[in-house]
Structure 1
Amino acid sequence: MQESPIRWYLTAPQPCPYITDGREMQSLLVDPEARLDAAGFGALLAEGFRRSGRFVYRHHCPACDACVPVRIPVATFRPNRSQRRCQRANADLTIELRAPPGAVDGRAEADLDEHMPLFRRYLHARHAGGGMESMDRTEYAGMLSERHATVELLEFRRAGQLLGVAITDRTPHGLSAMYTFYEPDAPTRALGTFGILSQIERARALGLAHLYLGYWIPNAPRMDYKIRFRPAEGRRGGTWRALDA
């Protein structure tokens, strides 16, 4: 972990965006000005924390523990029939591993010019009215900032056309699927599923133990995709356990 102590903040209660029965949500935040190293950030992932842009947080709701952090043990993962069908449907795509725009190769403006139209189309189609829909290119670039770990981009292309981007945090023991966006007008490709499958393969190639997928909530259908990658593990009561156990 870090040499200097981390300062922590607790957010004010707000209506839960996931369970709409009057529950309130709070989050425990790492000081946004703190600079974690990759090992320290990885240790927080293993304790159920998550990154969203510049914020590293864990839900900390006094009256509710419905949010379950999920990770995939890479060594034992095997795609099911539907996931193998997704792989075949996207066999014509090339996967290009990239650093964040401008971090290494100096193509910041060109990369952002290419990413932003797809990012906005995806948000408008899948998350209209959400908090991210108004993000501009500066905020998007900030989401890719390597503050706590190496950030990798997996770009999915067909004949050169950008169809999807998986933003991934890399730590010494695992990858964290931070955010994936993709062409909303290609539903038969299941590009969200393909993005996770590609990140699992990336973790396997690196010899890393886990891919972290963030939170899953039972009975929240839009989150069920996270537990379709078997075996999935969930962190409950401070311990990671197989979700199908």
Structure 2
Amino acid sequence: MKFGITQQFDCNYLDDRQEQLLVCVEPAIVLKSTFSDLTEHGFRRSGEQIYRPQCVSCNECQSIRVLARAHKPSKSQKRVLSKNSDIELKISDENKPEYYLLYEKYVNEIHSDGSMFPASPEQYYGFVDCEWQRPLFLEAYLDDELIGVAVTDKLNQGYSALYTFFEPSLSKRSLGIFFILKQIQLTADENLPYLYLGYQVDACKKMNYKQNFYPHERFFDNKWHLSVKKA
């Protein structure tokens, strides 16, 4: 396998850090066949690129995956499911035009202080679409209106949650948590072991929600480490 390493740039998660990525530079046909295996080693997809943090003096970013078949929702997660019991879920393999309109509204209203602001079609399609990997889209409908979308990749060993966006006025519904719970359920229903959630960064408050799904494993020191909820 061939890899390249990026120049250092400002970290998207920690203001006082520099970030550097290890990127797989194989052709599309190789990426397609090795994507699942690379995910097993802490890599993640963004658009056509498969990458993993490779920072010189920081290892805060740890790939995290939920053991789907063993997951039991917490009391607060059960409340989220109950709160959203009126939502209808559908699955599509087509990146529909209406998704971008919802994504644009979400990024510009919820994440106006983030690296993805302002939203643009080029940005959206650039990190979701992929020549060698066709993502799935979990659609949430309320009274027949599209209110949220979770983009997820099917892997040999489960699913990899790529990004979630939703109607900003419905933030109190905790739709981000809801979509993760539904992806865990989807993974378990297909008798697959893992839902990958990207990178857990303990020092970044915006990322801390990922560690609340138990049991989960984190990838560091080149292996996965189990974490279970304490009684």
The structural deviation recorded for 1:51 is 1.1
* TM-score between both structures, scaled by the size of structure 1: 0.86
State the 1:129 CA deviation. Answer: 4.6
Is the contact between residue 36 and residue 147 of structure 1 (CA under 8 Å) also seen in structure 2?
no
In the TM superposition, residue 160 of structure 1 has moved relative to its aligned partner by 1.1
RMSD: 1.9
Please report how far the alpha carbon of residue 208 of structure 1 lies from its aligned counterpart in structure 2 after TM superposition: 1.2
What fraction of aligned residue pairs are identical, expressed as a percent? 32
- Deviation track 1:69-126 (CA, whole Å, cap 9, x = no partner) reads 100011110100010000011100000010123xxxxxxxxx21x2122111110122
User: Residues 62-81 of structure 1: matches in 2 within 5 Å?
Assistant: 62-81=56-75
Distance in structure 2 (CA, Å) of the matches to 1:85 and 1:159: 20
Q: 2: distance between equivalents of 1:39 and 1:97?
A: 24
**Residue 189 to residue 244, structure 1, CA distance change in 2 (3 Å):** same
- TM-score after normalising by structure 2: 0.91
Provide the C-alpha distance between the structure 2 equivalents of 1:39 and 1:14, rounded to a whole number of angstroms.
Answer: 30
The one-letter amino acid of 1:18's match is: Y
Q: Structure 1: which 4+ aligned runs deviate by more than 6 Å? A: none
Aligned residues: 229
Relative to 1, partners in 2 of residues 1:28 and 1:70: Cα closer, same or farther, differing over 3 Å? same
Residue number in structure 2 paired with 1:147: 131
Would the alpha carbon gap of residues 31 and 134 (structure 1) be closer, same or farther in structure 2, given more than 3 Å must change? farther
**Is this contact kept in 2: 1:168–1:179, CA < 8 A?**
yes
Identify the residue that residue 86 of structure 2 maps to in structure 1: 92
User: Are residues 1:189 and 2:173 paired?
Assistant: yes
Query: Counterpart in 2 of 1:230?
Result: 214
CA contact (8 A) 1:232 1:243 kept: yes
Unaligned runs of 5+ in 2: none
Supply the distance in 1 between the matched residues of 2:31 and 2:43 (Cα, whole angstroms): 15
Counterpart residue identity of residue 66, structure 1: E
Q: 1:120 to 1:191 in 2, by over 3 A?
A: same
- Note the residue ranges of structure 1 that are not aligned, 5 or more in a row: 1-5, 102-110
Tell me if the contact between 2:3 and 2:26 (Cα under 8 Å) persists in the aligned partners.
Answer: no
Q: Out of 36, 39, 42, which is 1:42 matched to? A: 36
